[in-house]
């Protein structure tokens, strides 16, 4: 008998997919719950899973592994029903084709279940943009960008994209990457044009965009009935290949310890992350917070330090954008948003955050 936590993970993820615009994945996961009870192909695929299926996002690992086979041309029958391959979902044919892939390609799918989903949602830059512009306005200095959990590093290139945020426009209109999102509330500091001094990131399993197979793995975690997200990701990958980002294969704490050892003068060092905090264990979170607080305590007027946070603080898909800025450690609640960046509510989210001093 499978652990109850696996059933819970699939049910909750089905609800999240439905809430965030993926009826195909919601229906597949709801059918998978029945399959788990019946000891079907999905049950046999996940029966040996080790770890927490909730914190480990087991359902997304399954969906991503199958989608990767579709994108690689290894599941043509299922591709007929996946919009990311110009297909059209039909029920129950899509579920039958899905089960066939899980049954027949189990050995090819299993390795993907051993690693966290790897995502790099470029549209999250809609909210992050407001934070970066706020930092530039408050400090008047070039930005030294440092991202933890950077994946392929695509969000490190946020200044190379064009933004259409309600009536607001920012960035090069000739950019092949166009970020569109709903924007509610007052405008951010859209008149700012920050200078980027340098950009770098870290990730436990960084994606090299130059490698087609690794890029496909990143594409696989896009939900299969949201082809517009896939098109945007591919545009960002193509742009990144012209100047690949520097992303170290390292844990957040180890990397930050080195990167933040000394204050950098005449720039503002900005450590940021989006939808990463929940992947860190409690010890890693505590160590990262300690390192950031220590870097803040060393900040000076000519070497300020910023921590920009774009995370789901509630576990219910409600993203909060927060900023702490040193010297002084001022904490600003900037915005709320959508986990895939579809909207930004610029204003004042509820008080209290893991970015606040412990």
CA distance 155 to 148: 11
Question: What is the greatest pairwise CA distance in the chain?
Answer: 64
Mean pLDDT of 292-304: 97
Question: What residue ranges do the domains of the chain occupy?
Answer: 4-113, 122-208+244-346
The number of beta carbons lying within 10 Å of the beta carbon of residue 140 is 11
The yes-or-no verdict on residue 284 having pLDDT over 60 is yes
Of residues 70 and 245, more confidence is placed in 70
3-state DSSP assignment of residue 81: coil
Which residues touch 38 (CB under 8 Å, ≥6 apart)? none
* Amino acid 348: pLDDT: 59
**Mean pLDDT value of segment 147-171:** 97
* Average pLDDT rounded to a whole number, residues 56-72: 97
Q: What is the pTM of this model?
A: 0.92
Residue found by looking up tokens 């609640």 in the block: 333
pLDDT of residue 317: 74
pLDDT of residue 212: 94
Lowest mean pLDDT among 23-32, 73-82, 216-225, 346-355: 346-355
Residue 53: CA atoms inside 13 Å, Cβ hemisphere, count?
19
Q: Is the peptide bond prior to 275 cis by the omega test (within 30 degrees of 0)?
A: no
Q: Would you say residue 173 has pLDDT above 50?
A: yes
Q: What is the pLDDT of residues 106-141, one digit of tens each?
A: 999 999 999 989 899 999 999 999 999 999 999 999
* pLDDT at residue 350 tops 70: no
So what's the pLDDT on residue 351? Answer: 52
- Per-residue pLDDT for 315 more than 80? no
Give the integer Cα–Cα distance in Å for 137 and 47: 52
| pLDDT score, position 357 | 41
Q: 217 vs 83, 109, 209, 234, 329, CA distance in Å?
A: 17, 12, 10, 12, 39
- Rounded to whole angstroms, what are the CA distances from 57 to 51, 54, 114, 158? 10, 5, 11, 27
pLDDT tens per residue, range 197-250: 999 999 999 999 999 999 999 999 999 999 999 999 999 999 999 999 999 999
DSSP string, 321-347: EEEEEETTTEEEEEEEE-TTSSEEEES
> Is the C-alpha dihedral spanning 252, 124, 350, 269 positive or negative?
positive
State the average pLDDT for the chain.
94
Report whether 249 contacts 208 (CB < 8 A). Answer: no
pLDDT at 349: 60
């Amino acid at each position: 008998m499978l652990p109850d936590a696996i059933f819970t993970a699939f049910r909750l993820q089905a609800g999240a997919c439905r809430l965030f615009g993926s009826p195909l994945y919601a229906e597949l996961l709801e059918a998978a719950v029945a399959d788990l009870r019946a000891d079907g192909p999905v049950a046999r695929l996940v029966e040996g899973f080790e770890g927490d299926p909730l914190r480990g996002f087991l359902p997304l690992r399954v969906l991503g592994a199958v989608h990767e086979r579709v994108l690689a041309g290894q599941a043509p029958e299922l591709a007929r029903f996946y919009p990311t391959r110009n297909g059209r979902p039909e029920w129950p044919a899509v579920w039958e084709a899905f089960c066939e892939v899980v049954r027949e390609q189990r050995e090819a799918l299993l390795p993907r279940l051993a690693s966290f989903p790897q995502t790099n949602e470029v549209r999250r830059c809609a909210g992050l943009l407001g934070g970066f512009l706020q930092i530039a306005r408050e400090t008047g200095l070039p930005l030294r960008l440092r991202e933890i959990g950077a994946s392929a590093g695509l969000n490190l290139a946020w200044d190379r994209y064009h933004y259409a945020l309600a009536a607001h426009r920012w960035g090069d209109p000739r950019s092949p990457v166009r970020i569109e999102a709903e924007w509610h509330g007052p405008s951010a500091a859209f008149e700012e044009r920050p200078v980027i001094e340098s950009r770098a990131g870290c990730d436990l399993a960084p994606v090299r965009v130059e490698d087609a197979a690794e890029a496909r793995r990143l594409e696989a975690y896009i939900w299969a009935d949201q082809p517009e997200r896939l098109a945007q990701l591919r545009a960002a990958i193509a742009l990144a290949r012209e100047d690949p980002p520097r992303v170290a294969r390292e844990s957040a704490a180890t990397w930050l310890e080195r990167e933040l050892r000394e204050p950098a003068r005449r720039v503002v060092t900005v450590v940021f992350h989006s939808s990463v905090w929940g992947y860190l264990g409690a010890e890693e979170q505590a160590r990262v917070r300690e390192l950031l607080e220590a870097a803040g305590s060393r900040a000076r007027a000519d070497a300020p330090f910023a921590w920009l946070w774009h995370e789901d603080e509630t576990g219910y898909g409600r993203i909060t954008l927060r900023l702490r800025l040193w010297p002084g450690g001022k904490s600003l609640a900037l915005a709320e948003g959508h986990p895939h960046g579809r909207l930004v509510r610029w204003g004042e989210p509820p008080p209290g955050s893991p970015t606040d001093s412990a």
